[in-house]
A and B are shown apart, each in its own frame.
Chain A
Amino acid sequence: MRPILMKGHERPLTFLKYNREGDLLFSCAKDHTPTVWFADDGERLGTYRGHNGAVWSCDVSRDSTRLITASADQTAKLWNVQTGEQLHTFNFDSPARSVDFSVGDNLAVITTDPFMAFTSAIHVKRIASDPSEQTGDSVLVLKGPQGRINRAVWGPLNRTIISAGEDSIIRRWDTETGKLLQESEPEVGHTKQITSLAKSADGSHFVTGSLDKSAKLWDIRDLSLIKTYVTERPVNAVTMSPLLDHVVLGGGQDASSVTTTDHRAGKFEAKFFDKILQEEIGGVKGHFGPINALAFNPDGKSFSSGGEDGYVRLHHFDPDYFSIKI
């Protein structure tokens, strides 16, 4: 089907997130307003106004009532999804990069960038069920990795946190003690910055995309490498189909060199790979710049991509997609 073009952001997209039911799509961009859309027809539902910097990432609670966003204005904000009201602001000393709600939505992991004298850090915050009782205290702060941490997510039963970033190493932390449990093997791991990380629907494994032009699939329990997907462009965004064994990679030539070459040279396609056979299945073209964000609808029947060009493209699959054989 023809993709739905959603033009609501004025700056490059940074992150996309569906709610659990798959009827809402949240988008973050370098302009300051996260936006919520109907995931079916792409109609804009509303925006969340209050940030004063690029918004890097967001997460929505399981019951679709709370939204948390991380922004370069050195805050993470908690929102009422329905009304757009700001419930709480977590203040940091440096830009906040990624957020993720835990199982049960009682905790959130927020990463902050290295900035001036501050090193990068992973903060765990308790999310109160009553917003009036919400405090800004951190339950836990993890430090150590060099450079930016681009993504941190919860492991099974909230017992671990998985982080990945600029130093191209994936780390597993204990949320009880704050200890570093494990680092990914450098021989099999990425060789350049990890730009994105996406968990499978059941949380058993996750896929990482890197500027080394590959994506890798890992076991979330022991960080063992399961699969590698090799492509020909730097990978900025990854996602996995919850329905079929497909992995989608997005990316392209660095934004700064886009204008110097033919648009085909940039390879701004979203590439589909067979998750098990590691073979390329196909690609979805359309963006005029690198793809920065990808998300699959939880029903597996549509996906959306956000590009440097400021557009979100919402793709509903044709019926023959579901019968692809390779």
Chain B
Amino acid sequence: MADIINMKDAEALAAEWGIDTSQIDFDSIELPPGEDFGIISDDEDVYQEEQLDSDTGFGNVIVVDNLPVVPLEKFEKLEGVVRKIYTQIGVIKEDGLWMPVDSKTNKTLGYCFIEYNTPQEAELAKEKTNGYRLDKSHFFAVNMFDDFDRFMRVPDEWVAPEIKPYVPGENLQHWLTDEKARDQFVIRAGTDTEVFWNDARHLKPDPVYKRTYWTESYVQWSPLGTYLATVHRQGAAVWGGATTFNRLMRYAHPQVKLIDFSPGEKYLVTYSSHEPSNPRDANRVVINIFDVRTGKVMRDFKGSADEFAIGGAGGVTGVSWPVFRWGGGKDDKYFAKLGKNMISVYETETFSLIDKKSMKIENVMDFTWSPADPIIALFVPELGGGNQPARVSLVQIPGKQELRQKNLFSVSDCKMYWQSCGDYLAVKVDRYTKTKKSTYTGFELFRIKERDIPIEVLELENKNDKIIAFAWEPKGHRFAVIHGDGPRPDVSFYSMKTAQHSGRVSKLTTLKGKQANALFWSPSGHYVILAGMKGFNGQLEFYNVDELETMATAEHFMATDVDWDPTGRYVATAVTSVHHEMENGFNIWSFNGKLLYRTLKDHFFQYQWRPRPPSFLSAEKEEEIAKNLKKYSKKYEAEDQDVSLLLSEQDREKRRLLKKEWEDWVNRWQRLHEEEKLERQKLRDGEASDEEEEYEAKEVEVEEVLDVSEEVVSFE
């Protein structure tokens, strides 16, 4: 094994041997398999897949079999044909096509090797041309070069796999049993990824786990909080536990860009997009759906980016994420993708299309799943210059029957907002005015759970108001709208059922002239933050919708993110470096707008609370608790008090210690200072005083002669 030498020595050595190091691409050097020259890879996550590529370095070579056997005269012609076929798929490396010739018969052997620039191209070539019909009797058989090796190694005798003893795993829900009922959050700043408890009582984050270079792009909690997913170049990984964060599973997907969990966190969707070697082609997109627990690929989708671009005709911006939207609540039963004039709905039992075919819907623009039930709401714009009206339909899955449909006229755009329990659907409709020069906005409100799904139309008092934000109260029946034209828009609250009007939407209140452009409801409802992000410099108003009163107003200057903790007790506001490099960090607030603590972090990228799974309590039980809150809260109030007492005690003690330490230091100094007094006096020519106050202030009048001039004054 070679000794490790540093770069400087290496360069000196290279110069000695007459090697120009600037000509060498060090990244392209491949070490022989199994040899690392004593340089241990610092990446423990080098995946099997990756190793396959580098094992032989032949990951981008394919073998094309079943070629015609031709004599030398026809060699060039055949080579030309093969080259033509395969350059259509990707760029063949220089001298990358090799067709061996039998030296005895001077005929080709009926197969050839083709080397591409990337393994992706090679794989694509294999996929596309395997079974390609050259003529009547020649069907190509294409294989990856590496596959030969791999299949050759399969032993002939079957050996029973060893059954590993069962090792009980860690309780992945352990973090929920925190004695102090705290919540966790993850942050990314610089190269560090850290998980903390939000210790609001002690007014500080309590570190749980920290790791440098944990991810190569970003991290994400699974929707129920069980896993933390990290994204790497070779794929994604999930980690779990309350404090240990052991790796539970890896999902190989080279150059993965985006990931998405299904709502019940059974499946993980990973996405990557690869530059085509021919710049005229669209990017190649690979999407894998993994089973989170077994790590098995359940289904993969490959194709050009155009096929995954949503919005039918659009697709200018490329793929919109998530490509697959999950439906049917937490059971992860269905997922669907928008395509050109169709919606493809898959079910997860077989991972195939329901009824083996997509739903054909002419010109469909957008669809959303109900968060609770297998219902799709979809929007189709006007067709034929307004002859065929636009419509919003609700479609039941898997039956695909239409539950409700509403035709809409002179529509420019629609946006659909589901309430979190799937009870209501609000459709924001932008309509053209008669002149078609401008648009105005109204809402169509669907009551999903009621018989025949009644629809109501809601229009704002001032029709010309632009809608800046809309949000349903989670688990509730109210919603908030920011609307207005000027720099200080209004905020209105509506309810789908009030005591007076049980079946009709009614307005609760309008707040005039607010500096807000975003709405953040508490996950438990009742409270909402009216936030002025970006242009409004991070204004925050904590509003109680039950009492219709403002609880607090505050500011987190330049805040870019607002995130409620899953229980609705605390709110985090963050300034991430994506928008703003100054004062990166996060603040934690109580639900009623009291600033609890702030943390500054340079290069702050990401803040995310660890989600909690839904409560096991029944609705009745929850109501009972809400009613008798006093009784239940006693215990916690006592705890709060204890902590705050302890804190102030600790604080006092700390201050006392600091003061004492300082006094000791000052005394030590004083002694030395006294000892040196005489010497100091000598330096000052005998001036005795050290004390700055001891000088005498004397009023001295100074008269200064600036100029003397003589003038002859004559007397008359």
Task: List residues of A whose CB falls within 8 A of some B CB.
Answer: 20-21, 62, 102-104, 106, 156-158, 201-202, 204-205, 219, 221, 226, 232, 242, 245, 253, 261-262, 264-265, 267, 275-278, 298
Tell which of A226, A267, A275, A277 touches B655, judged by Cβ atoms closer than 8 Å. A277
A276 closest partner in B (C-beta): B662
Tally of B interface residues using CB under 8 Å: 27
Q: Answer whether residue B351 sits at the interface, using C-beta atoms and an 8 A cutoff.
A: no
A242 contacts B692, CB within 8 Å? yes
How would residues 9 to 27 of chain B score, 1 for a CB under 8 Å from any chain A CB and 0 otherwise? 0000000000000000000
Interface residues of B in 594-650 (CB under 8 A from A): 600
Indicate whether A158 sits within 8 Å of B582 (C-beta atoms), given known contacts A21-B695, A226-B665, A277-B658: no
Lowest 6 CB-CB distances: which A-B pairs, in order? A104-B683, A204-B669, A104-B684, A276-B662, A103-B683, A265-B582
Contact A276 B582 (CB under 8 A): no
Across-interface contacts of B692 in A (CB, < 8 A): 20, 201, 242, 298
Assuming the contacts A62-B684, A276-B658, asked whether A262 and B669 have C-beta atoms less than 8 A apart, the reply is: no
Q: In the complex, A177→B558 CA distance in Å?
A: 54
Let me know if B583 is at the binding interface, CB within 8 A. yes
**CB contact list, B660-689 vs A, under 8 A:** 662, 665-666, 669, 672-673, 676, 679-680, 683-685, 687
Q: With A and B bound together, what is the CA distance between A5 and B580 in angstroms?
A: 32
- 11 A-B pairs within 8 Å (CB atoms) are namely A20-B695, A156-B673, A157-B679, A158-B683, A204-B673, A219-B665, A253-B582, A261-B582, A265-B580, A277-B655, A298-B692
Which residues of the partner chain B approach A265 to less than 8 Å between Cβ atoms? 557-558, 580, 582-583
Residues of A within 8 A of B695 (CB): 20-21
Instruction: Report Cα–Cα, A202/B665, bound state, in Å.
Output: 13
Q: Which of B195-247 contact A (CB under 8 A)?
A: none
Query: Is A264 a contact partner of B557 (Cβ separation < 8 A)?
Result: yes
Set of chain A residues within 8 Å of B583, measured between Cβ atoms: 232, 265, 267
When the two chains form the complex, which single residue of A103, A261, A264 contacts B680, counting CB atoms closer than 8 Å? Answer: A103
Distance of A245 Cα from B659 Cα, bound (Å): 11
Number of A-B contacts (CB under 8 A): 58
Of the candidates A21, A103, A245, the one having the most CB atoms from chain B within 10 angstroms of its own CB is A103
Nearest-CB residue, chain A, relative to B661: A276
Given contacts A102-B683, A265-B558, A265-B583, 17 further A-B contacts (CB under 8 A): A20-B692, A103-B684, A156-B676, A157-B676, A157-B683, A204-B669, A205-B669, A219-B665, A226-B665, A242-B692, A261-B582, A265-B582, A275-B662, A276-B658, A277-B655, A277-B658, A278-B658
| Smallest Cβ-Cβ distance to B557: which chain A residue | A264
Residues in B whose Cβ lies below 8 Å from that of A62: 684, 687
Measured in the bound complex, the distance between the Cα atoms of B662 and A277 in whole Å is 10
CB pair A276–B684 under 8 Å, yes or no, is no
With both chains docked as a complex, state the minimum distance between the C-beta of B342 and any C-beta of chain A, in angstroms: 48
A106–chain B nearest beta-carbon distance, Å: 7
Q: Indicate the member of B600, B690, B692 with the most A CB atoms within 10 Å.
A: B692
The answer on a CB contact under 8 Å between B537 and A106 is no
Report A-chain residues with C-beta under 8 Å of the C-beta of B683: 102-104, 106, 157-158
Docked complex Cα distance between A261 and B669 (Å) = 46
**Are A232 and B600 also in contact (CB < 8 A) when A157-B676, A204-B669, A226-B665 are?**
yes
Q: Inside 8 A of A201's CB, which chain B residues have their CB?
A: 692
CA distance A103 to B680 in the complex (A): 7
> A221 CA to B580 CA in the complex, in Å?
42
Tell me which of B658, B685, B690 contacts A104 (CB under 8 A): B685
**Chain A residues closer than 8 Å to B680, beta-carbon distance:** 103, 157
A205 partner residues in chain B, CB cutoff 8 A: 669
A182–chain B nearest beta-carbon distance, Å: 17
Residue of B at shortest CB range from A102? B683
**C-alpha gap A103/B673 in the complex (Å):** 14
Question: Whole-angstrom distance from the CB of A124 to the nearest CB of chain B?
Answer: 15
Report whether B672 and A221 are in contact in the complex, using a CB–CB cutoff of 8 Å.
yes
B651's nearest neighbour on chain A, judged by CB, is: A277
- In chain B, residues 533-589, which have Cβ atoms closer than 8 Å to a Cβ of chain A? 537, 557-558, 580, 582-583
Shortest Cβ distance from B443 into chain A, in angstroms? Answer: 35
Known A157-B679, A242-B692, A277-B655: A202·B684 in contact at CB below 8 Å: no
B659 contacts which of A221, A267, A276, A278 (Cβ < 8 Å)? A276
Least CB separation from A226: chain B residue? B665
Which residues of chain B are within 8 angstroms of A267 by Cβ–Cβ distance? 583
> Please, which residues of chain A bring their CB within 8 A of the CB of B672?
156, 221
A265 to B557, CA, bound (A): 8
What CA separation (Å) do A202 and B600 show in the bound complex?
34
